[in-house]
């Protein structure tokens, strides 16, 4: 498919700012740029700190969704996990109500300014309501800290897996060696790596957490999942704090995979006070695979300030230049 021009990409593009119910990844509003193409809508939402080389993958994903559409699905419903931010244990029941029927919960830990006792209390509170627990440290621990924390968590019961307990591949390998009974999942070590398979070849992961936008689109995600399966590594499709448009793309990716053994991290729409389309209805711990069409009145209400619109449009132009340089 020829790469659309910058003018074609920005014709009809909308930048929105979605207010959040709780602080997540240190932010209380999520900005994304939505592209409209002949096949539908795509979402371009790399976080502000990402450089253009990395952000270009997100633009490639948005172009695929809006200009090519999604591959044929293999399933119509996707099991999703609850996501529990780094909140106090007293708020856990409130958060879990946003994930009706979820049988798996991912609990954020290792938050800056918090300690292990707070993490343990949060995980214990979630265990009272959800049978399967996975934790996500976003690379926030050293090896010794990870071993200590994971030992504390598993004293209360098993973990489905521990996601990115440490930042580097050698650290993940060492944690996996020292705690053979705990499955280790890689997230940042895959989606922010020039070689996504490096952590797997090094023996640092049992599970791969994959996200459509950072990998450059649904088709690239499906191809990577096939490679990972060849190494005995299963995948979990997750979101990058996406709007309803991005969540629909994540669901399309999960629906296109041959195998999907784990609940996916695609239930994060409940963290927004308002979104560009009605919230996807979760029932019995699953979401339907559906197309999403943003509503004009919602787009108008959530439209970002003019200076932010120009910032995002200029970012699209730069990232398109990066893609053109890659021969895409």
| Residue-wise DSSP of 250-272 | HHHHHHHSS---S-BB--GGGGB
- Locate 158 and state its tokens: 């098993």
Tell me: pLDDT of 304 over 80: yes
pLDDT tens figures, 247-291? 999 999 999 999 999 999 999 888 899 999 998 889 999 999 999
Q: What is the DSSP string of 144-184?
A: HHHHHHHHHHHTSS--SEEE--SSSHHHHHHHHHH-TTS-E
More confident residue, 327 or 155: 155
Task: Assess whether pLDDT exceeds 80 at residue 23.
Answer: no
In terms of Cα–Cα distance, which of 98, 65, 105, 61 is closest to 82? 105
163 is in an annotated binding site: yes
- What are the helix (H) ranges across 64-115? 92-96
Tell the CATH topology of 6-69+296-326.
Answer: Enolase-like; domain 1 (3.30.390)
Q: Which residues of 218-230 are buried (b: 16+ CB within 10 A; e: fewer)?
A: bbbbbebbeebee
Annotated ligand binding at 300? The verdict is: no
Paired residues of 234 in beta bridges: 207
206 labelled ligand-binding: no
pLDDT exceeds cutoff 90 at 235: yes
User: How confident is residue 73, by pLDDT bands cut at 50, 70 and 90?
Assistant: very high
Please check whether the two domains, 6-69+296-326 and 77-288, share a CATH topology: no
Cβ pair 279, 258 in contact under 8 A: no
Choose, from 106, 176, 183, 211, the residue flagged as catalytic: 211
In the predicted model, what is the mean pLDDT of residues 66-90? 96
Helix (H, G, I), strand (E, B) or coil at 298: helix
In CATH, the architecture of 77-288 is Alpha-Beta Barrel (3.20)
Residue 179 and residue 314: Cα distance in Å, rounded? 46
Active site residue 106: no
Query: How would residue 178 be classed by pLDDT, with cut points 50, 70 and 90?
Result: very high
Query: For residue 110, is pLDDT > 90?
Result: yes
Whole-structure pTM value: 0.93
Catalytic-role residue among 36, 108, 134, 220: 108
Domains of the chain, by residue range, sit at 6-69+296-326, 77-288
Over 90: is that where the pLDDT of 26 sits? no
Instruction: Tell me the CA distances in angstroms from 168 to 183, 193, 205, 237, 242, one per residue in order.
Output: 16, 10, 12, 21, 25
- The string of pLDDT tens digits covering residues 196-220 is 899 999 999 999 999 999 999 999 9
> How far apart (Å, rounded) are the C-alpha atoms in residues 24 and 12?
29
In terms of Cα–Cα distance, which of 256, 216, 214, 265 is closest to 236?
Answer: 265
């Amino acid at each position: 498919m020829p790469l659309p021009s910058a003018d074609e990409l920005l014709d009809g593009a909308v930048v929105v700012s979605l207010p959040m119910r709780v602080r997540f990844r240190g932010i209380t509003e999520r900005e994304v740029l939505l592209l409209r193409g002949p096949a539908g809508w795509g979402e371009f939402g790399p976080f502000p700190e990402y450089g253009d080389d990395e952000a270009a993958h997100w633009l490639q994903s948005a172009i695929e969704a809006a200009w090519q559409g999604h591959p044929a699905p293999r399933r119509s419903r996707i099991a999703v996990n609850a996501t529990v931010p780094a909140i106090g244990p007293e708020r856990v029941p409130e958060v879990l109500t946003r994930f009706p029927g979820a049988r798996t919960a991912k609990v954020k830990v290792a938050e800056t300014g918090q300690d292990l006792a707070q993490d343990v209390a949060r995980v214990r509170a979630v265990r009272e309501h959800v049978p399967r627990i996975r934790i996500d440290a976003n690379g926030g621990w050293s090896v010794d800290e990870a071993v200590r924390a994971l030992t504390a968590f598993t004293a209360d019961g098993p973990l489905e897996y521990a996601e990115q307990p440490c930042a580097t591949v050698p650290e993940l390998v060492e944690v996996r060696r020292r705690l053979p009974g705990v499955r280790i999942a890689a997230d940042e070590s895959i989606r922010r790596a020039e070689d996504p398979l490096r952590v797997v070849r090094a023996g640092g992961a049992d599970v791969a957490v994959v996200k459509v936008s950072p990998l450059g689109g649904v088709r690239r995600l499906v191809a990577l999942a096939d490679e990972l399966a060849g190494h005995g590594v299963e995948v979990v499709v997750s979101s990058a704090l996406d709007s309803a448009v991005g969540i629909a793309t994540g669901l399309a990716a999960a629906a296109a995979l041959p195998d999907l053994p784990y609940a996916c991290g695609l239930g994060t729409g409940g963290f927004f006070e308002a979104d560009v389309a009605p919230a996807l209805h979760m029932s019995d711990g699953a979401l339907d695979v559906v197309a999403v069409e943003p509503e004009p009145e919602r787009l108008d209400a959530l439209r970002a300030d003019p200076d932010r619109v120009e910032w995002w449009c200029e970012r699209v132009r730069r990232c398109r230049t990066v893609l053109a340089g890659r021969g895409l």
